[in-house]
């Protein structure tokens, strides 16, 4: 007798696409919308923070964040996210998905607002306060990864599960887009109200005092979409798979899913207890887990790790790449507010033309092509385009070829999102047992954030000019943008190779994939 015989799980596996599926996508997806907005909006305002708080009288260039401050401001949220993924992933398996779900959202809302209210008498205290709240913001965001993925996978049917989980993740694209659009609107409004000359004309007047409000507003608005869905998160019932297979409460699972599916489902408490007796639950650190899922966990962690090295180094510092090829004018030719508008416009264009379409291509095709094929295609083309940008890099920097560079750069984003950026999120929510699903997803996601931290910090230093005199103030000489892009190409190639460790999950029930339908005769 196995889990596949539990009627409540069979009903979920074969359920037709219904309104509750779309409700779940919106509720979970708005969390990801907020995650992306909060994580990526910081890259829109870091240049402004440098102008406001680190202005140097008589300098030919506007003030910029010192290397250690820039690294902290950009990276502290990623460190918090990594910690949150591990902690809330584990807690989601211990306490249940629903109980923890509201906590992560409230943490995100509070810290979004608090980070915009970062106060202090001097630059050091403002940055310290900002970093403190950005860390805890990241901690809440981290919890959203394993919980949203696990909830969606456990609610979905076999046929369209991949599309539903990918749709939740695809809300990230809209979050990045919304961040860029909102920053453009606000900076345009501020520009109209508070006229300012370029830095090279009047260094002091180029940063109006009101600019200090702009970056705060951009950060604080991240709380709004999360607050809108808080009530609905609390109203969602616990997933039947957790209630039946982990909490072993068949009556509650049947009652919850009867309401959701709008059909009568029989509670099978005796069957749940028989399953519990026959199947000895192995732990994460057991030889049984190592034998059954060790390579799977290696596959999900390594591919997510390698992807995020490339993805976050591109995303967080795309403004620097655009500056390097001359697509964004020199900072001294703009006012502080104008610079925010220009950076936001570039991010919005990339999101609109490549990031968002890439996500939704995955949603449309993941249950047709399968996870494995999409991840392989994505890594392959990311490698190709990265090398195509890197080797003839000098060619792309010439004014006539800059548009070509942007198109190629956009294609790497497209194939990241129509590829491993989506599939690395989907697969860990499908292939591990219910009692370890959230934990394993959290571990996989945390490996990704470790890659993101390496990408964000590493690229910041690596991409500096090889001539120390031409490097940004306070930075040592790096290997240059060209060599950095070659490194990222190699990273993508390794991601392609590690994809072969990840099983295909298309069209199979979660219990078949995780091996829970096989009677476990092995001990720990």
Residue 2: pLDDT band by 50, 70, 90 thresholds? very low
pLDDT over 60 at 316, yes or no: no
Higher pLDDT, 389 or 379: 379
pLDDT at 337 > cutoff 50: yes
Residues 274-290 have a mean pLDDT of 77
DSSP run (H or E) holding 6: none
Q: Mean pLDDT for the chain?
A: 87
Q: By mean pLDDT, which of 25-39, 392-406, 500-514 is the weakest? A: 392-406
Render pLDDT for 175-215 as a digit per residue (tens, 0 to 9).
Answer: 999 999 999 999 999 999 999 999 999 989 999 999 999 99
Distance separating alpha carbons of residues 402 and 385, to the nearest angstrom: 15
Is 521 a residue whose pLDDT tops 70? no
Alpha-carbon span 395 to 514, nearest angstrom:
50
Which comes out higher in pLDDT, residue 291 or 481? Answer: 291
Q: 355 versus 99: which is more confidently predicted?
A: 99
Is pLDDT at 455 greater than 50 in this prediction? yes
408 pLDDT higher than 60: yes
Give the rounded percent of residues in the chain with a pLDDT score beyond 90: 44
pLDDT at 280 over 90: no
Residue 318's pLDDT band, with cuts at 50, 70 and 90, is low
Q: How far apart are CA 103 and CA 109, in angstroms?
A: 10
Mean pLDDT within 288-299: 92
**pLDDT higher than 70, residue 285:** yes
Superfamily (CATH) of domain 17-514 = MFS general substrate transporter like domains (1.20.1250.20)
State mean pLDDT over 307-334.
Answer: 72
Q: What is the pLDDT of residue 464?
A: 73
Q: Give the residue-averaged pLDDT of 482-498.
A: 91
- From the CB of residue 388, how many other CB atoms can be counted at a distance below 10 Å? 17
Contact 280, 522 (CB under 8 A): yes
Answer yes or no: are the C-beta atoms of 25 and 166 closer than 8 Å.
no
pTM of the model as a whole: 0.89
Give residue 135's pLDDT band: very low, low, confident or very high (50, 70, 90): very high
* Position 377 pLDDT exceeds 90: yes
Residue by residue, DSSP assigns 225-236 as HHHHHHHHHHHS
| SS3 track for 479-499 | CHHHHHHHHHHHHHHHHHHHH
In angstroms, the Cα distances linking 154 to 149, 245, 343, 510 are 9, 11, 39, 8
Task: State the pLDDT confidence band at 146, using cuts at 50, 70 and 90.
Answer: very high
| Distance separating alpha carbons of residues 196 and 201, to the nearest angstrom | 10
pLDDT score of 465 more than 80:
no
Instruction: Name the residue ranges covered by the structural domains of the chain.
Output: 17-514
3-state secondary structure of 438: helix
Cα–Cα dist 141/34, whole Å: 8
Q: Tokens standing for 9? A: 């799980």
Can you give the pLDDT at residue 324?
60
* pLDDT score at 3: 42
pLDDT digits (tens, 9 = 90+) for 207-228: 999 999 999 999 999 899 888 8
pLDDT at 395 over 50: yes
Please tell me the distance from the alpha carbon of residue 311 to that of residue 455, in angstroms, as a whole number. 8
Return the higher-pLDDT residue of 382 and 471: 382
Token pair for residue 248? Answer: 């072993």
């Amino acid at each position: 007798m196995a889990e596949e015989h539990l009627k409540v799980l069979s009903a979920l596996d074969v359920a037709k696409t219904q309104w509750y599926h779309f409700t779940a996508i919106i509720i979970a997806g708005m969390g990801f919308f907020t995650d992306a907005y909060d994580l990526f909006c910081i890259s829109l305002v870091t240049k402004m923070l440098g102008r406001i708080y680190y202005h140097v009288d008589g300098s030919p260039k506007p003030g910029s964040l010192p290397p250690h401050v820039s690294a902290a401001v950009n990276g502290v949220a990623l460190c918090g996210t990594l910690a949150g993924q591990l902690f809330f992933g584990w807690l989601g398996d211990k306490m249940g998905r629903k109980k923890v779900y509201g906590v992560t959202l409230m943490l995100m809302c509070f810290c979004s607002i608090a980070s915009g209210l970062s106060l202090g008498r001097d630059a050091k205290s403002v940055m310290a306060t900002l970093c403190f709240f950005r860390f805890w913001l990241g901690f809440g965001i981290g919890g959203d990864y394993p919980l949203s993925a696990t909830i969606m996978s456990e609610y979905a049917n076999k046929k369209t599960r991949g599309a539903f989980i990918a749709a939740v993740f695809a809300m990230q694209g809209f979050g990045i887009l919304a961040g860029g659009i909102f920053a453009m609107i606000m900076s345009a409004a501020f520009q109209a109200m508070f006229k300012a000359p370029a830095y090279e004309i009047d260094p002091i007047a180029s940063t109006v005092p009101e600019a200090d409000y702009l970056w705060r507003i951009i950060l604080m608005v991240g709380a709004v979409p999360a607050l809108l869905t808080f009530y609905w998160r609390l109203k969602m019932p616990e997933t039947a798979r957790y209630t039946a297979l982990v909490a072993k409460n068949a009556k509650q699972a049947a009652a919850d899913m009867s309401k959701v599916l709008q059909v009568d489902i029989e509670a099978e408490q005796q069957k749940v207890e028989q399953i519990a007796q026959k199947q000895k639950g192995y732990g994460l650190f057991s030889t049984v887990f190592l034998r059954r899922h060790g390579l799977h966990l290696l596959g999900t962690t390594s591919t997510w790790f390698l992807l995020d090295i490339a993805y976050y180094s591109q995303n967080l510092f795309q403004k620097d790449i655009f500056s390097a090829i001359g697509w964004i004018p020199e900072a001294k030719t703009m006012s502080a507010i104008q610079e925010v508008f220009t950076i936001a416009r570039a991010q919005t264009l990339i999101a609109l033309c490549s990031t968002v379409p890439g996500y939704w291509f995955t949603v449309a095709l993941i249950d047709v092509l399968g996870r494995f094929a999409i991840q392989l295609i994505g890594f392959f083309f990311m490698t190709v385009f990265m090398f195509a940008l890197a080797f003839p890099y000098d060619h792309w920097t010439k004014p006539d070829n800059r548009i070509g560079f942007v198109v190629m750069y956009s294609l790497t984003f497209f194939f990241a999102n129509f590829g491993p950026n989506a599939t690395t999120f989907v697969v860990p929510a499908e292939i591990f047992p219910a009692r370890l699903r959230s934990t394993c997803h959290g571990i996989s996601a945390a490996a990704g954030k470790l890659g993101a931290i390496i990408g964000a910090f590493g690229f910041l230093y690596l991409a500096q000019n090889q001539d120390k005199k031409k490097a940004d103030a306070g930075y040592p000489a790096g290997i240059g943008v060209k060599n950095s892009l070659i490194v990222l190409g190699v990273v993508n190639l390794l991601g392609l190779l590690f994809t072969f460790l990840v099983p295909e999950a298309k069209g199979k029930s979660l219990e078949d994939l995780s091996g829970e339908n096989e009677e476990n005769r092995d001990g720990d």
